[in-house]
């Protein structure tokens, strides 16, 4: 029975490189007659445009652009080519939506409401702000350019549209808070009509902020449905929520009328008119009831998929992990969560977890296993590095997110990332860097082939040079296995962008860690949209 598990990850034939959605008003191609969106590079996951592309566009939704903002927003634009590129950056200004007015509740200001609103419960600006003049930024070869959005616009919230005159350039963004560290994640290469967030926390000491960016002239409207441990929840606050054209609107989930004080909240954003880019910024202040500290940043999933891959994972004393699986569909999903240890050929994979996820609901696999004991040994032992593969067994697509919480080591924080629904030979990382004694960076590469050894190399680049450290060339990964590299052992660049190049389909993930402080940031790399393949889910 277990012998066939490694063979479960079969790679479909064909090249999915043309899946980029680079024009603002375009919608992703449909997979079938039901309107389901295809899992392609550039739609299901941000992707770099192939070589030879005339242009590419990136959308960076979330962050603040004013002194003392909650999450200072900086763009990270990386050019891994030997040719200069030009980025045209257009800032999109915005603000926070005020809390909803709830009958009988005391709202900010102390007033108690007596009447219920009859239409949208969240007043937002009815007109778009004046257009902001685009700014041209030169991107030299083999370089990374950082651009704080506060240098372009002063606003409580601000996003950006970044247009590049060519392919391969990648754009990430970074947010920092005064006491919560920093988080780095990819910007989007599509505006979509659906965004799924499997994980979220609104319990005491935590705040979840959804940032909606509408880069287009027309207004957009949306609904948000939530799932908590008490069931599905559709709130007035997020019903027919309006985002004016060319604006950014942020809304805290835990405001009145949202999902209040919950340890786990999944959110499904459905855009009723127009299309949007949606980020989630999660804040943790730390309190006596929990060990959560720090800040996270990340896009939702615009497309559900049958398979999600997480290259990295580890549990130890003071470090715990969760895989949160969310089902945004109207059918029951039968799901398997399989953990792969460092070398799958050296030891049999642990027995997978099997989940039944109801429509609009979530399920969680927690490590260390809370049910483990003397008579029930843990499937994944402490201190065992591992990867995870989440797959639908009955063809109902899902979304999946992994959360790492570190509270008992020199690094404190929370890292959260969606998995990757695709594999590819080339992956880019725009953010990151090494500061001796202060910041560490790790890369983990997972071999998505079930039969072939894959060889990969890591090439950092900065300041007009591309490097080939001897210890990072020609590294082999067994079928279904993973390799982790600690970049501080090979470079000490504070501003570091990276290319991972393999001779087969892989998934690459980055972990950024603050040493002796607060800060964990984990995210998938950005694949180049060439020779991209979609893993086929295991079927009985």
Measured CA to CA, the distance from residue 57 to residue 162 in angstroms comes to: 6
**pLDDT over 50 at 13, yes or no:** no
Residues 489-509, mean pLDDT to the nearest whole number: 95
Position 76 scores a pLDDT of 98
pLDDT of res. 10: 31
| Residue 535: pLDDT band with limits 50, 70, 90 | confident
Write the CA distances from 135 to 66, 161, 299, integer angstroms: 18, 11, 24
User: What residue numbers bound the domain in which 399 lies?
Assistant: 2-536
What is residue 262's predicted lDDT score, i.e. its pLDDT?
Answer: 82
Q: What percent of the chain has pLDDT over 70?
A: 83
Please give the Cα distance from 294 to 415 (Å, whole number): 9
Helices (H), 61-189: none
Q: What is the pLDDT of residues 386-440, one digit of tens each?
A: 999 999 999 999 999 999 998 866 778 899 999 999 999 999 999 999 888 888 9
Quote the pLDDT of residue 125.
Answer: 52
Among 110-114, 346-350, 422-426, 451-455, the range scoring the smallest mean pLDDT is: 110-114
**Residue 242: is its pLDDT beyond 90?**
yes
Which DSSP string corresponds to 75-110?
Answer: EEEEE-SSS-EEEEEEEEEEEEPPPPP-TTPBPTTS
Closest by Cα among 401, 491, 399 to 443: 491
Buried b (16+ CB within 10 A) or exposed e, 109-123: eeeeeeeebeebbbe
- Least confident interval from 265-274, 402-411, 453-462: 402-411
pLDDT for residue 111 is more than 60: no
Please check the confidence at residue 119 and state whether its pLDDT lies above 60. no
Number of domains in the chain: 1
- Rounded distance between C-alpha atoms, residue 119 and residue 58, angstroms: 34
Query: What is the average pLDDT value for the chain, to the nearest integer?
Result: 85
- Tens digit of pLDDT for each residue in 277-304? 999 999 987 554 556 788 999 999 999 9
What are 21-40's pLDDT values in tens digits? 222 333 333 444 434 568 99
Kindly report which listed range (52-56, 379-383, 495-499) carries the lowest average pLDDT score: 379-383
% pLDDT > 90, the chain: 66
Stretch among 120-124, 187-191, 199-203, 257-261 having the lowest mean pLDDT: 120-124
Question: Is residue 113's pLDDT more than 70?
Answer: no
pLDDT tens-digit map of 327-356: 999 999 999 999 998 766 666 778 999 999
Which tens digit of pLDDT belongs to each residue from 80-106?
999 999 999 999 999 999 876 554 443
pTM of the model: 0.88
pLDDT on residue 373: 78
HEC string of 286-329 equals EECCEEEEEEEEEECECCCECEEEECCCCCECCEEEEEEEECCC
Q: Is the pLDDT of residue 107 over 90?
A: no
* Tally of CB atoms within 10 A around 267: 26
Q: Among the listed ranges 39-48, 174-183, 262-271, 450-459, which one has the minimum average pLDDT value?
A: 174-183
The DSSP line for 346-404 is: TSPPPPPEEEEE-TT-EEEEEES-TT-BTTB--SS-TT--EEEEEEESSS--BEEEEEE
Q: What share of the chain is helix, strand, coil (3-state, %, to 5)?
A: 5, 50, 50
Q: Which of 208-222, 507-521, 522-536 has the lowest mean pLDDT?
A: 507-521
Q: Quick one: pLDDT at residue 132?
A: 80
């Amino acid at each position: 029975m277990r012998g066939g598990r490694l063979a479960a990850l079969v790679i479909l034939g064909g090249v999915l490189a043309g899946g980029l959605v680079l024009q603002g008003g375009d919608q992703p191609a449909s997979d079938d007659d039901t309107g389901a969106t295809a899992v392609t590079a550039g739609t299901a996951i941000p992707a770099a445009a192939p070589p030879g592309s005339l242009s590419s566009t990136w959308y960076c939704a979330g962050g603040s652009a004013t002194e003392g903002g909650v999450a200072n927003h900086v763009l990270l634009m990386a050019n891994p080519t030997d040719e200069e590129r030009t980025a045209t950056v257009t800032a999109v200004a915005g603000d926070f939506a005020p809390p909803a007015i709830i009958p009988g509740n005391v709202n900010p200001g102390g007033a108690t409401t007596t009447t219920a609103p009859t239409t949208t419960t969240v007043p937002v600006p009815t007109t778009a702000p004046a257009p902001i003049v685009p700014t041209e930024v030169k991107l030299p070869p083999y370089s990374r350019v950082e651009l704080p959005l506060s240098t372009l616009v002063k606003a409580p919230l601000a996003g950006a549209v970044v247009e590049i005159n060519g392919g391969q350039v990648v754009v990430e963004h970074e947010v920092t808070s005064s006491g919560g560290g920093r988080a780095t994640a990819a910007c989007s290469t599509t505006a979509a009509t659906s965004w799924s967030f499997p994980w979220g926390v609104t319990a005491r000491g935590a705040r979840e902020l959804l940032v909606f960016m509408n880069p287009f002239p027309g207004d957009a409207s949306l609904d948000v449905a939530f799932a908590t441990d008490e069931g599905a929840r559709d709130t007035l606050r997020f019903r027919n929520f309006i985002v004016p054209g060319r604006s950014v609107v942020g809304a805290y989930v835990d405001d009145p009328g949202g999902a209040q004080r919950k340890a786990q909240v999944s959110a499904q954003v459905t855009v009723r008119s127009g299309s949007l880019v949606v980020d989630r910024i999660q804040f943790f202040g730390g309190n006596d009831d929990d060990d959560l500290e720090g800040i996270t940043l990340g896009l939702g999933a615009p497309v559900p998929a049958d398979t999600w891959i997480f290259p990295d994972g580890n549990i130890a004393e003071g470090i715990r992990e969760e895989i949160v699986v969310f089902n945004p569909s109207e059918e029951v999903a039968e799901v398997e969560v399989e953990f792969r240890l460092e070398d799958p050929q050296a030891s049999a994979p642990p027995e997978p977890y099997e989940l039944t996820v109801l429509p609009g609901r979530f399920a969680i696999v927690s490590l260390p296993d809370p049910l483990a004991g003397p008579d029930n040994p843990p499937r994944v032992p402490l201190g065992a590095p591992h990867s995870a593969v989440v797959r639908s067994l009955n063809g109902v697509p899902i979304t999946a997110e992994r959360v790492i919480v570190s509270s008992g080591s020199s690094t404190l924080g929370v890292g959260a990332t969606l998995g990757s629904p695709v594999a590819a030979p080339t992956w880019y990382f725009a953010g990151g860097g090494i500061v001796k004694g202060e910041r560490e960076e790790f890369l983990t590469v997972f071999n998505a082939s079930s039969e072939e050894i894959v060889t990969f190399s890591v090439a950092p680049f900065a300041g007009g040079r591309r490097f080939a450290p001897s210890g990072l060339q020609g590294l082999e990964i067994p079928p279904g296995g993973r390799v982790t590299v600690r970049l501080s052992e090979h470079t000490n660049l504070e501003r570091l962008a990276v290319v991972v190049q393999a001779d087969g389909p892989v998934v690459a993930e980055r972990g950024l860690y603050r040493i002796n402080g607060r800060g964990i940031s984990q995210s998938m790399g950005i694949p180049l949209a060439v020779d991209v393949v979609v893993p086929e889910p295991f079927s009985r």
